[in-house]
Amino acid sequence: MPRQSITLSEKNDDWLKSHVGATGEYANKSELVNDIIRRARRAEFINEKLAKAEQSGHVDQSPEEILAEFKADLKR
């Protein structure tokens, strides 16, 4: 996995630290940041699908198929 160096505002760093400690879901800030990015990518993907559906008037995929397509894309 590529390593990155980012600069965070103090407020954002404090939030990440407190969220990691409070939830117990993440071992460190990197795991939380990756999860936030995954969620943003998922939201972006869904929004793109919705925009295409609105433009075309219909969608041939079920919600489950859209989700499966998104998950497959994440693995690439």
pLDDT value of residue 55: 82
pLDDT above 90 (res 1): no
Spatial CB neighbours of 32, under 8 Å, sequence gap ≥ 6: 16, 19, 20, 25, 26
Average pLDDT for 6-30: 93
- Alpha helix ranges (H) inside 1-76: 10-23, 29-56, 63-75
DSSP 8-state class, residue 60: S
For 32-71, the pLDDT digits (tens) are: 999 999 999 999 998 888 888 778 877 778 878 888 888 8
DSSP 8-state class, residue 4: -
Pairwise CA distance, residues 67 & 49, whole Å: 11
